[in-house]
């Protein structure tokens, strides 16, 4: 669609466009009920849970050019609902040095996508739609469900007062992609009243969500210096599965190892350290934009599919990457420190981690054969460097009569944004310390209140340096990083609350 209103705001030019807003209305519902009883000396727990999340989207301060002067400036552009219902039946029993447990679970999941107002996707000329987000169309509407059941067994053996050994196994079967067996072994050695040493090894899996399997939509995005509508295609769409040969989504599997120690130096001073390593295979990723290669002299098979289906560009979910994450958690607690007429508690907690991609990206055969990079440098950075590799928290909690003072200083380590194709446009955002203050007061046994100041010192992330690339900051739309997560850019935020106990 080009950039007729100078939405990308070229340097030195006047901005004649408008800034649409994308707003959400979220509703969560959940209900859990259960009962416990004894049966043949087993503790029995039966429970049922229902949970539902509904989200509706609105795009405001925008228009649909094809509706001209009669166009609304606010559009309900559709939404999604996800719900699950599950039942659990668990048995457990202590037999002296032996603890046994087993049980079963059954679950039903439902996902639906609703189309937006017809005006939001009205597009007879090809230049219409509600600007910034065309809305979910009837072709995007879907109702999907699946069910699964699982059974498990757990055994813990305490051969001595100091040693505990455990093992567990779980089988799960899904109606839409198959089954899985996962297991765990663990051990714990007590150091008396000083602490303990612990370790575990386990396998695991994560089923692809119904959203990843069935979600589809069209979004207005900036790519290659221009604005265009790009489609997310569901994994079950014939264009994806049949024409482009993308395989059915399947479960991610993992191997996990952890080891740690807790040690009490003195009654009110303790330390703990834990190491972990998580290897995930067949991780589900959201591809980058896949479109035309810029060579007008020929058409490759992927482009032929795009042309045949009137698609400018597309994205989809696929199992295509394996990752390795290693990290260390450190915690120091110093409690019940007498300070003046009050008591001070202090905690120092730190996490250091690193995630790497193992091997090559496993692109579907048609894309690999035609030289498509389905997961470019920018998308890879979302996994490897878009979140801090270090985080350190110093928390102080001081009780003085009816007053309570909490001061938290949190260091968020640096993050790096990578450009899709040019390393020269990469940017690293420096680590920063965010200070939060909470002051509470008990007016009575039933009434209390507090005032909190988040980001007390009004710290912001480093500003974006687009280096002339309009896609990096969307033509000046963003001052601070928007594609990497470090901490917010809302500055200081004040909150106050009252609590009453019945």
Counting other chains too, the contacts that 486-489 makes at CB distance below 8 Å and 24 or more residues apart are 486/387, 486/388, 486/412, 486/414, 486/415, 486/429, 486/432, 486/461, 487/412, 487/432, 487/434, 487/455, 487/459, 487/461, 488/455, 489/460, 489/461
Place of tokens 């080009």: 2
Instruction: Give the Cα separation of 432 and 480 in Å (integer).
Output: 14
Residue 1 is predicted with a pLDDT of 46
Of 77, 75, 141, 147, nearest to 110 by C-alpha is: 147
The widest CA-to-CA distance across the chain, in whole angstroms, is: 82
CA distances from 395 to 195, 274, 398, 455 (A): 22, 20, 10, 14
- Residue-level pLDDT at 229: 55
Environment class of residue 421 by beta-carbon count within 10 Å: exposed (0-12), middle (13-18) or buried (19+)? exposed
CA neighbours within 13 Å on the CB side: how many for 336? Answer: 5
Helix (H) or strand (E) holding 308: helix 301-308
Supply 468's token pair. Answer: 């002339």
- Within the chain, which residues score under 50 in pLDDT? 1-2, 5
Report the C-alpha gap between 158 and 94 in whole angstroms. 11
SS3 content of the chain, % helix, strand, coil (to 5): 10, 55, 35
pLDDT in tens, 248-287: 999 999 999 999 999 999 999 999 999 999 999 999 999 9
The per-residue pLDDT for 217 is 84
Q: Which residue spans within 292-431 are E strands per DSSP?
A: 314-315, 317-339, 342-358, 390-400, 403-412, 415-417, 427-429
Length of the chain: 502
pTM of the model: 0.86
Say how far apart CA 34 and CA 52 lie, in whole Å: 18
Looking at residue 464, what DSSP letter applies?
P
Model pLDDT, residue 135? 83
- Mean pLDDT over each residue of the chain, to the nearest integer: 91
The C-alpha atoms of residue 348 and residue 177 are separated, in whole angstroms, by 44
Q: Which of 388, 361, 358, 389 is nearest to 484 (CA)?
A: 388
């Amino acid at each position: 669609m080009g950039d007729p209103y100078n939405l990308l705001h070229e340097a030195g030019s006047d901005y004649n466009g408008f800034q649409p807003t994308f707003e959400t209305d979220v509703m969560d519902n959940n209900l859990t009920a259960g009962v416990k009883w004894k049966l043949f000396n087993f503790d029995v727990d039966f429970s049922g849970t229902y949970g539902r999340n509904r989200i509706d989207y609105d795009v405001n301060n925008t228009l649909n050019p094809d509706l001209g002067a009669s166009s609304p400036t606010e559009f309900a552009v559709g939404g999604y609902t996800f719900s699950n219902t599950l039942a659990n039946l668990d048995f457990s029993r202590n037999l002296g040095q032996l603890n046994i447990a087993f049980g079963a679970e059954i679950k039903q999941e439902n996902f639906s996508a609703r189309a937006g107002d017809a005006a939001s996707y009205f597009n007879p000329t090809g230049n219409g739609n509600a600007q910034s987000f065309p809305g979910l169309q009837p072709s995007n509407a879907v109702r999907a469900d699946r069910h699964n059941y699982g059974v498990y067994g757990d055994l813990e053996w305490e051969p001595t007062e100091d040693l505990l050994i455990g093992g567990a196994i779980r089988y799960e079967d899904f109606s839409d992609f198959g089954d899985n067996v996962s297991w765990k072994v663990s051990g714990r050695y007590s150091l008396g009243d000083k602490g303990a040493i612990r370790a575990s090894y386990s396998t695991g899996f994560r089923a692809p969500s119904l959203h990843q399997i069935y979600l589809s939509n069209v979004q207005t995005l900036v790519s290659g210096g221009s604005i265009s509508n790009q489609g997310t295609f569901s994994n079950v769409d014939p264009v994806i599965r049949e024409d482009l040969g993308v395989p059915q989504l399947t479960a991610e599997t993992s191997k996990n190892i952890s080891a740690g120690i807790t040690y009490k130096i003195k009654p009110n001073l303790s330390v703990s350290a834990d190491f972990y390593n998580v290897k995930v295979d067949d991780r589900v990723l959201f591809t980058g934009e896949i479109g035309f290669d810029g060579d007008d002299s020929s058409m490759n098979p992927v482009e032929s599919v795009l042309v045949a289906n009137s698609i400018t560009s597309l994205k989809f979910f696929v199992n295509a990457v394996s990752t390795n994450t290693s990290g260390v958690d450190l915690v120091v607690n110093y409690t019940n420190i007498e300070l003046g007429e009050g008591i001070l508690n202090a905690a120092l907690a730190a996490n250091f981690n690193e995630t790497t991609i193992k091997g090559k990206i496993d692109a579907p055969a048609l894309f690999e054969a035609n030289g498509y990079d389905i997961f470019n440098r920018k998308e890879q950075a979302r996994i490897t460097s878009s979140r801090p590799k270090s985080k350190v928290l110093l928390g102080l909690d001081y009780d003085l009569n009816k007053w309570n003072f909490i001061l938290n200083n949190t260091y968020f380590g640096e993050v790096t944004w990578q450009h899709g194709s040019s390393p020269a446009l990469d940017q690293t955002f420096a680590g920063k310390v965010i200070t939060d203050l909470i002051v509470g007061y008990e007016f009575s046994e039933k009434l209390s209140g507090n005032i909190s100041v988040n980001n007390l010192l009004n710290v912001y992330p480093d500003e974006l340096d687009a280096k002339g690339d309009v896609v990096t900051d969307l033509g000046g739309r963003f001052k601070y990083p928007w594609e990497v997560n470090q901490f917010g850019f809302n500055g200081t935020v004040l909150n106050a609350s009252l609590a009453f106990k019945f």
